[in-house]
Structures are given as C-alpha cells and as structure tokens.
Structure 1
Amino acid sequence: MTDPTADTADNADSADTADNADTADTVAAWRRLAGTCVLLDGFHALKHAVRFGAEVPVAVTTDRRAALALAGELAPDVRKTLAGLLTEVPEQAYRSVVPRPHPTAVAALAVRPSRVAGLATLAHVPRTAPVVVLDHPRNLGNAGAVIRLAAGFGATGVVTIGPLDPWHPTVVRGGAGLHFATAVERLTADELPAGPLFALDPEGDDIRGVKLPDDAVLAFGSERSGLSAELRARTDHLLSLPMRPQVSSYNLATSVAMTLYHWSATGYGSRP
C-alpha cells in the first residue's frame, strides 16, 4: 500500500528546489548587473523610475504581496508593471545584495540613462525650464533632495560640478528614483549649458526683484564654502534669498526649492 503523504512531500520538495533555484538565479543576475546599473533603494524609488521609463532588469522584495498592495494603494498606474518585475526572495538573500535594507523591503537595479541623451537634453534650446547647477556639493543626501525638487518643478536637469557623483546610490536614494524624470549629469564649469547664469550668493540682488527666465542656469554653491571662484567669475547675475539678519544660511535643498518656486511663481513658459 502506498503512502498518501509521499506525493505531497515530493511536491513540496520540488517547489522548494524551484524556489531556491529562482532565488539563486535572481541573486546571480543582481550581482552580474550591480556594477553597471543604478540601485533603486525602496518602493518609491522603483515606482518613480518605472513611471519615467527606466529599464529595470531585476527587482526584488521579501514580500511580493505587500509590495503589490502598496502599489495598489499608492501607485496603481504602475502596479501591473511592478507585478511583472518583482521577484520574491528570502530576507537573507535580499540583505546579501542590498547594503542598507529599506523599510519597504524592495530594491531594484535600473539601467543608467545614456550620457549622450542627458547632454543633448541639457544642450537643447530653446529651453522651457531652468537647469540647476550644484557647485562642488558635499552632502549626498542634499544632492538627492535637489534632484527630487528639480523633477517636481519640471526643471530641465541638474548638473553637478566637482567630485560628487550625482548617481551615487545615496544620492539616488535621496532623490527617490526621480533621476529618471530629469537630466542628471556631472560637468565642468566650462561645459555648462548655454543660458544666462544666475548664482545664489548673500551679496547678490534680492531675488524678489528679479524675474527668472525659462532658459536660466541656476547655480548654488557648496554647503560649506559657497560658490567657487571659477563659477563666480562666470556668473551673469548674483542673487540673494530673503533671510533674517544673523541667520547665516539655508540648507542647499531649501535654497533650490525657494529659487525654483520663485521661478514658477513669476510666470514661466511651460508648466510641468
């Protein structure tokens, strides 16, 4: 007489073997691509990247059902796409490929946009929105917050000058995946896009008396030392933000937000 539990046990073993093989294949694919792709750390980074057309070759989560429920609640427009992308893996496998696990337990790798395409976007004229320039920024999180702001305001792009990599994983995390919604490149001061260069500086004219044109290049100095001498020498207009006496400065992302809001509030050509 045959054991009625044997088939069930065999099927369970087969399912476990298949799951282990899927996990191994996914982890192997991740490790193969990690050196050349952009880390999307968390549900919101993946959501935004997908919305703005990123190519995502691998995406993982420790709880697929929870991730898709979150998509249904917060991003129903991309839920179907995420359902086709997300692979559930054990937490140990997830932690082995993600250096700082995100609370949403979602991560993905995306193909970085073509530099040629990014430069073409920045160079295209006429522009309907400014380019934001960060002159030797130091704080990775601040740079990410600026990219998120620029995407939200529909800026043409964000350019960094100096050693900070605007595609560093911490910057992408701070930008919530919105690098894919605007052009993001690192250039030298000599390579900045054409257009009138407005730089923020405490010695500049009050920004409230100036209407910023759509083709403006808006430059912001580093959090610690302000504008570099090289960029300051190239500036067409120095502008200052309103600030209470004895307050020394604003956070970099706050300064960018105030300036882009001023541009948007004083009338511009093409609203996002």
Structure 2
Amino acid sequence: MTDPATGADASRLWHRLSGTSVLLDGFHALKHAVRFGAEVLVAVAVDRKAALALAEELAPDVRDALDALLTEVTQAEYAALVPRPHPTAVAALAVRPSREANLARLARAGRTAPVVVLDDPRHLGNAGAVIRLAAGFGATGVVTTGTLDPWHPTVVRGGAGLHFATAVERLDVAELPPGPLFALDPEGDDIRGVELPDDAVLAFGSERSGLSAGLRARADRLVALPMRPQVSSYNLATSVAMTLYHWSLTGGAAPGQDRP
C-alpha cells in the first residue's frame, strides 16, 4: 500500500483508484476484508482513534493492521469519497480478487462445501446478505446469473466485506460449476428428506420470478423448504440460510472446520 501522509493525500489516491477498486463501506467491511486477506489500497476514517478503539474492542486480531492502514480525514473529505456515509465514518478501497482464482476455486474437484447460485437476483441488499451468510457457513462461493453485479458497492456493503471470505462471481447458467445441482422450488421434494452433498450446487430463483427455465432444466433435483400453507414465500437470504443449515446438519463439515 502507498502510505498517504495526510487526508488530502489519501483523497487524491482514492480518486485515482476508485474506478477500478472495491469500495469497503464502514468499519466492519474493512475489518472482514483485512481478516480474509484483501489487498487494501487506501483506508480512511474521520476519527482514527475511535476506529482503532473499535478494533481493539471488536477485532483485536486486525487492530495493528488497521493502525498501519488508516489515515484520518475531515468529515468533508470523507463525505466527498463515499456515496452514502456510514455511521462508523470508515471506508477503504481494495483490489478485487482474481476472477481466474475464483473460477478455479469454484470448479475445484472434491469441494468440501456447496456453491450457492442466485439465479437472476434483483435486489442488491438481498445479494449482499446471502454472501454474508454464505461466508459464515464456509460455502465455497456465491455465483449470480443475470445482470446484477455481485461486486456492486451496495452488495459489498450488505455483505459486510465478506466477499473476500468466499468466491463471488457472475456466470451464465451454462458456466455454472460442476456438481449435483439442487434447485429450490415449491414443487420440489421436501428438503428434510434430502441429503445435500458437500459438493452440491444450490440454486435459488429470483425474488419475483423464481427459477429461470434454463436453470430449472439443468437441475438434477428440485427441493422445497417446509412452508405453512397460504404463505407465499421466504425472503431470499432466509431461504439460503435454511438450506445451508440443512446442509450443515446432513453433510457439512464440523463447525469451525477450515475449508479450502
């Protein structure tokens, strides 16, 4: 990282890099990105001392790294750098992980955790929430189809920087990683009677339209979450959480076990 000496230096570096870098919006996004090995190019805080105190309290493992990264800026300088100021008044820019490395990780034989597929999602916040919980379950990655950019700043904000803890990419249905594809659909088999293997590809339809015809045709099996009659649907992130929890009970690695 270039170590800017002043807030003005940091602002100039930020403006030079912002078009090609990942925006880490808020303390927790920066904390997680650092924790999972992101290459942070520039990081700023309106109150550097308060940010480091927060790190001391909530993330002592990255406190020294943040001490080396953070440059204090004025409130006006900070507001000029981010589209929507975060309550912690912390922000950073990081290098997006290599697409080639992510694709290799997603396609690796013998995966020990599923890949989550969001089929043509429409809501940026929902996509971010899915990436956050997928990282928490140790999923191999999250793939989106369709037009939504899974690295959009709003998605990264919703994911709290945990894009760096799992492989996040956008692919066409024909490009999905290998592995048995289980697609969530109300007409599928009750998931409670299904064992989800560790190398499963778990596909979820869009919030409005459900599964696309192409993904449904490619699915090896349709499975359904238990739902009370007359309730129309679950939130997308809730559906993913329920499915990954079921996987963790039926085929998942032990809690806390590292997964490649």
Matched, 1:76 2:63: no
1:246 and 1:268 mapped to 2: Cα distance? 32
**TM superposition shift of 1:267:** 3.1
Match of 1:226 among 177, 185, 210: 210
| 1:100-135 residue CA offsets vs partner (Å, 9 max, x unmatched) | 000000000010000010001001111000000000
CA RMSD of aligned residues (A): 1.1
Alignment size in residue pairs: 253
Q: One-letter code of the match for 1:120?
A: A
Partner secondary structure for residue 137 of structure 1: coil
**TM superposition shift of 1:233:** 0.5
2:111 and 2:55 mapped to 1: Cα distance? 34
Q: Which structure 2 residues correspond to residues 15-94 of structure 1 after superposition, within 5 A? A: 22-94=6-78
Percentage of pairs with the same residue: 80
Q: Which structure 2 residues correspond to residues 99-248 of structure 1 after superposition, within 5 A? A: 99-248=83-232
Q: One-letter code of the match for 1:147?
A: I
2:112 and 2:70 mapped to 1: Cα distance? 36
Q: One-letter code of the match for 1:55?
A: E
Q: One-letter code of the match for 1:208?
A: R
Q: One-letter code of the match for 2:215?
A: L
Larger radius of gyration: 1
**TM superposition shift of 1:25:** 1.2
Structure 1 range deviating more: 262-271 or 48-57: 262-271
1:74 and 1:165 mapped to 2: Cα distance? 30
2:8 and 2:51 mapped to 1: Cα distance? 21
1:121 and 1:91 mapped to 2: Cα distance? 40
**TM superposition shift of 1:269:** 4.2
| 1:164-186 residue CA offsets vs partner (Å, 9 max, x unmatched) | 00000000000000000000000
Off by >3 Å, runs of 4+ in structure 1:
269-272
Q: One-letter code of the match for 1:117?
A: A
Q: One-letter code of the match for 2:90?
A: V
Indicate conservation of the 8 Å contact 2:198/2:251, yes or no.
Answer: no
2:102 and 2:16 mapped to 1: Cα distance? 25
Partner secondary structure for residue 167 of structure 1: coil
1:71 and 1:138 mapped to 2: Cα distance? 34
**TM superposition shift of 1:37:** 0.4
Normalization by structure 2: what TM-score?
0.96
Which ranges in structure 1 are unaligned for 5 or more consecutive residues?
1-20
Normalization by structure 1: what TM-score?
0.91
Partner secondary structure for residue 202 of structure 1: strand
Which ranges in structure 2 are unaligned for 5 or more consecutive residues?
none
**TM superposition shift of 1:91:** 0.3
Q: One-letter code of the match for 1:72?
A: E
